Amino acid sequence: MSEYSVLLGMEDYHLSKVCNKLIRTLQSFKERYMQREGAGLGNVWDEICVQVQGEYWVCWYAYEHTMVQLIKKAYDEIDPTISKFLSYMYDSRNEDSMYEDLEKVRFSKYTPSISSFVNLIYDKLIEIAGNYRNARIENYLS
């Protein structure tokens, strides 16, 4: 197993941990926060999944804003070493990174950015939402 494979495994572990916590938070937002009352969806996470899976509504930007704010809050609450690691991994794959050759930048010298963390977690949440299934989502989309 290569060192990079180990890093990818660690990234996946921490990404899953952060995303699962955020999904649970979004699932705790019930009727009061939902845009499609009476649609048979149980919570805000269900509505996000339905939108990502093909039925975008005007309210998407409100959900996007909510997700970004929750991610920023997670950034403030997570162990700084973990947020730095996740930002580093995102920047190592991102061509638009402020680091031209991140492989030459030692982790100890790397300065994490909240935007890298937000982008990584947001992209992962959207990926999960695109594949997330439950009976309410299936019924709504059918």
The secondary structure element, H or E, covering residue 90 is: helix 80-93
Give the mean model confidence (pLDDT) for residues 25-29: 94
Is residue 90 predicted with pLDDT exceeding 50? yes
* pLDDT for residue 6: 85
List CB contacts of 37: < 8 A, sequence separation 6 or more.
Answer: 31
Which domain, by its residues, includes 32?
3-141
Report the C-alpha gap between 3 and 55 in whole angstroms: 41
Mean per-residue pLDDT of the chain:
86
Give the mean model confidence (pLDDT) for residues 63-84: 95
DSSP assignment letter at 40: S
**Number of compact structural domains in the chain:** 1
- Tens of pLDDT along 94-129? 765 544 554 555 666 777 789 999 999 999 999 999
Choice between 40 and 136, residue whose per-residue pLDDT is larger? 136
How much is the pTM?
0.86
CA distances from 100 to 11, 92, 96 (A): 21, 10, 9
